[in-house]
A and B are shown apart, each in its own frame.
Chain A
Amino acid sequence: MARNDLTIAMVGSGGDGVVTMGNLVAQAAAREGLHVIETEAYGPQIRGGETSCTVRVASREIYAQGDTVDVLVVFGWESFGRFRGEISAAADAVILYEAADETQFEKLDLPLGEHARWLPIPFQQLAKDASAAGAKNIVTLGILAELFGLPSDALRRAIEKRFSKKKASVAEANLKAFDAGRDFARSVTQEVGHKELAYEPAEPRLLLSGNEAAAIGALHAGCRFFAGYPITPSSEILHFLSEWMPRFGGAFVQTEDELAAIGAVIGASFAGVKAMTATSGPGLSLMIEMLGLASMAEIPTVVIDVQRGGPSTGNPTKSEQSDLLQALYGTHGDAPKVVLACSDVEDCFHATVEAFNIAEEFQLPVLVLSDQSVGQRRETLSASALVHEVRDRVKPAPSDLTGYERYRETDDGVSPMAVPGMRGGMYQTNGLEHDEAGRPTSLHLTHEKMNAKRYRKLLPIRERHAFFRRYGPARADVGIVCWGSSKAAVKEAVLEANARGERVAAFVPQTIYPFPKHQFQEFLSGIEDLLVVELSYTAQFYKYLRTFLTLPEGRTHVFKRSGGKELTVAEVAQEIDKVRGVSASRRESVVA
């Protein structure tokens, strides 16, 4: 029976070209109008080493990378072994593996289904026979296209495009390799039709990563200054803006360290240009002192933190949600700043634009928490989804520039901000506490008053910029709260549960601070049990919620674990079942 949702994983070592394969499948599927989620995973090696690429393609909307793979391509079992516990195959998966690999894979602790079909394939030999020894991956693509209904024409065009900058003979050789794969597949006698994709072609869709979406969001918001320092898994933002910022007439600087990056961003913004940096947890730690400066001097500042496993060098190529408390509380002193989160690729765009809107309107630092999972995965999107209103900072009116006071008290705490070049707007800004004119002072009363002024800005942000998502019915037995990339598995699990008739709901805030407290309390009032889900060993999100909310006593459950592996729909579903069980037995005991 043909299917409308197929997940393919490819595993190999450097030089096997599994990422190219995955990219080509994703691009061809996007061309056909299919929905795609593509993820890559690497070992810590700089070149070579184990690599895996997983592509899920479907003719309906999908929210998560599939828990289990339908088709698994293994170029080497040793590489596969290095992803132990991270790639699970469906019970009826089709496994294509290198026939020449003599590794005793039966002895590997394989998380593979027992009804899986095993197809040993001489990938390397086929490539040699097609006089394309370096194109084993393209031969394999031909096999996959033929066996599993992937779009052959679109794949051929994707291959041609891929090699269009090289000699014509390169594209020709690769196309020959592709056809050789298809020919070989016709000789396969095992029945694999249950994994064949069927779909109606639709309008082509955009295919981009979360990091790219965030960088595009910055350009869309009017960011014309980027300074950054390379760090995995955020560097794609740096690379992207290195290419595009100058094309937009903006400035791009790769600084000597993260301290310089945030300093340059604050300087550029002080000078009146929208500015941003991007980093990961260790880099954010270095920047945090100066986020206090941005807060104190009231300078619009945007920082994207693409989280990875920590602490220290930690797990740099894998995702985790453990920078939350650092982002919220890392700064010394009482320093208002806003924390937003992105839960998917599209969110990376919107959260970044909104970060600029809030930073510019309220003159404070805004942190965007992304993570390796959403930052580096590619998803298909419709261009029409990437629209977002852009707002600018309040500039002084001519009347403000007579007797100008940079930090003048106002009802909402926002004072018109002059920029260099404005005659009459001159002021000296300070990391020191200062009075309304910006003059340094250590007077207690001024410190109290200016703290109040700076914190007052958060009220309208909470009222006007409360972003959150809600899934499932208003009244539910189980209500899940999660944030960021956990949304993928949670949303899919909730919708699946709803389809089975279970009353399960979810609340996913995108504004983490100031938290949409009232909306969340309303959510709480409609649910029986609360389940907090997060990828943090110490349950940072749960701890944070408890600082300002009384969570339902005896009815609050936490599912947390370290990152390093994406949250799966099955994990969430299992937790939902557990909570439902607890809830049911509690009701029985009340009746008894």
Chain B
Amino acid sequence: MSAELPVFQPADYKSDLKPVWCAGCGDYGALAALHRAMAKLQLLPWNTVVVSGIGCSSRLPGYVSTFGFNGVHGRALTLATGIKVARPELSVIAVGGDGDGIAIGGNHFLHSARRNLDVAYLLMDNEIYGLTKGQVAPTTPAGDKTKSTTWGNPEAAVDPCELAISFGATWVGRGFSGDPKTLVDLMVAAIEHHGFSFLNVMSPCVTFRGDEQFKTLRAKLRSLPEDHDRTSRQAALRYTREKDSLTTGVLYEVTEPSLLDRMADVRQKAQKAGPVKGTADVLATFAPAF
């Protein structure tokens, strides 16, 4: 059957829907990188599901020609959990923004990392709420003025990579939508990783963070040093909460049993208790057998 399969080009992963994003939005770069990463991996479109919540970047599943699920705000990873656990053979990619994933969906992010859920999670971080037109996000730097922080943001920002590492994600990377070449490689590695992979993609919002967000980020762009030990949590955390630089690359990568590995173990243990043919076997355990 595989002999009949075409070779998929990046364009084959493109849907016929035109993105609703503003001209100049960083998400275009992320989307193009995803199309190319999928082609590099030759993912079978019909065996791939792209899942999202709500937000500008959460519109992405509609622009990818695979199975897609644009769900409700904050719950992308819950849907992805069900899809992947129910059908382990599928490639499941969750996407979304910083508000969706770190604010309203923060709990699911932490627990997906803790479980080492076998899903790649690509977060398009623009440090703002775009779809609702410019409110403060958990990644907005303190002091910044937004529609909902008229006098400046009184809260501290969080670094999603730091959260992911702390909660047990087994692959954590950072990319920039203005650096497509590195981004494609990072996406390929994230999707290929066994377990929970988290890629924070800095993806500027030209409308609510201004044109200069691209420039500012590009100016801060750094690569990881050659001798970076990506298996060290300590080393990885050094590249989180950065102020004057934006280090991209694979910050952290370790091999651990994934959620599906552990669930397979559980199933094996359970099945040692004896074969079950149907519910009659279950009912029999409720008969007073003495």
Interfacial residues, chain A to chain B (CB-CB below 8 A): 27-28, 30-31, 154, 157-158, 160-161, 204-208, 212, 216, 219-220, 224-225, 227, 243-244, 246-249, 251, 253, 255-257, 259-273, 275, 289-290, 292-293, 297, 383, 386, 420-432, 439-440
Residues from chain B with Cβ under 8 Å of A262 in the complex: 78
Residues from chain A with Cβ under 8 Å of B151 in the complex: none
Residues from chain B with Cβ under 8 Å of A247 in the complex: 270-271, 273-274, 276
* Assembled-state Cα–Cα distance A267/B50 (Å): 12
* Assembled-state Cα–Cα distance A421/B90 (Å): 8
Residues from chain A with Cβ under 8 Å of B280 in the complex: 383
- The answer to whether A264 and B81 have CB atoms under 8 Å apart is yes
Residues from chain A with Cβ under 8 Å of B45 in the complex: 426
- The answer to whether B72 and A268 have CB atoms under 8 Å apart is no
Give min CB distance, A365 to chain B, whole Å. 14
* Assembled-state Cα–Cα distance A275/B59 (Å): 26
**Which residues B52-75 have CB closer than 8 A to chain A?**
54, 59, 61-62, 65-72, 74-75
- The answer to whether A271 and B90 have CB atoms under 8 Å apart is yes
* Assembled-state Cα–Cα distance A290/B81 (Å): 15
- The answer to whether B72 and A264 have CB atoms under 8 Å apart is no
Residues from chain A with Cβ under 8 Å of B65 in the complex: 426
* Assembled-state Cα–Cα distance A273/B87 (Å): 8
* Assembled-state Cα–Cα distance A31/B62 (Å): 59
- The answer to whether B86 and A204 have CB atoms under 8 Å apart is no
- The answer to whether A267 and B47 have CB atoms under 8 Å apart is no
* Assembled-state Cα–Cα distance A246/B77 (Å): 23
Q: Does B282 contact A (CB under 8 A)?
A: yes
Residues from chain B with Cβ under 8 Å of A257 in the complex: 107
Give min CB distance, A350 to chain B, whole Å. 13
* Assembled-state Cα–Cα distance A59/B94 (Å): 58
* Assembled-state Cα–Cα distance A261/B82 (Å): 9
- The answer to whether A423 and B111 have CB atoms under 8 Å apart is no
Residues from chain B with Cβ under 8 Å of A293 in the complex: 71-72
Q: Does B79 contact A (CB under 8 A)?
A: yes
**Which residues B214-273 have CB closer than 8 A to chain A?**
263, 266-267, 269-271, 273
Residues from chain A with Cβ under 8 Å of B70 in the complex: 428-432, 440
Q: Which chain B residue lies CB-closest to A225?
A: B86
Could you say which of A208, A248, A422, A428 contacts B69, with CB atoms under 8 Å apart? A428
Give min CB distance, A376 to chain B, whole Å. 15
Could you say which of A27, A160, A292, A422 contacts B46, with CB atoms under 8 Å apart? A422
* Assembled-state Cα–Cα distance A31/B287 (Å): 8
Question: Contacts A247-B270, A270-B82, A420-B47; is A439 near B87 (CB within 8 Å)?
Answer: no
Residues from chain B with Cβ under 8 Å of A27 in the complex: 288, 290
- The answer to whether B286 and A212 have CB atoms under 8 Å apart is yes
Q: Does B85 contact A (CB under 8 A)?
A: yes
* Assembled-state Cα–Cα distance A161/B51 (Å): 50
Residues from chain B with Cβ under 8 Å of A30 in the complex: 288
* Assembled-state Cα–Cα distance A386/B59 (Å): 46
- The answer to whether A246 and B86 have CB atoms under 8 Å apart is no
Interfacial residues, chain B to chain A (CB-CB below 8 A): 15, 17, 45-49, 51, 54, 59, 61-62, 65-72, 74-75, 77-87, 89-90, 107-108, 110-111, 263, 266-267, 269-271, 273-274, 276, 278-280, 282-283, 286-290
* Assembled-state Cα–Cα distance A220/B288 (Å): 21
User: Can you report 29 residue pairs joining A to B where beta carbons are below 8 Å apart?
Assistant: A27-B290, A205-B288, A206-B283, A216-B282, A243-B270, A246-B263, A246-B266, A246-B269, A256-B110, A259-B75, A260-B111, A262-B78, A263-B79, A266-B71, A267-B79, A270-B79, A271-B82, A271-B83, A271-B87, A273-B87, A292-B72, A297-B69, A421-B90, A424-B46, A427-B68, A429-B70, A431-B72, A440-B59, A440-B62
Residues from chain B with Cβ under 8 Å of A219 in the complex: 279, 282
Q: Which chain A residue lies CB-closest to B259?
A: A253
- The answer to whether A266 and B79 have CB atoms under 8 Å apart is yes
Most chain A Cβ neighbours within 10 Å, of B89, B274, B290: B290
Could you say which of A271, A386, A428, A439 contacts B86, with CB atoms under 8 Å apart? A271
Could you say which of A243, A264, A289, A420 contacts B49, with CB atoms under 8 Å apart? A420
Residues from chain B with Cβ under 8 Å of A207 in the complex: 286, 288
- The answer to whether A420 and B267 have CB atoms under 8 Å apart is no
Most chain A Cβ neighbours within 10 Å, of B84, B266, B288: B288
Residues from chain B with Cβ under 8 Å of A275 in the complex: 82, 86
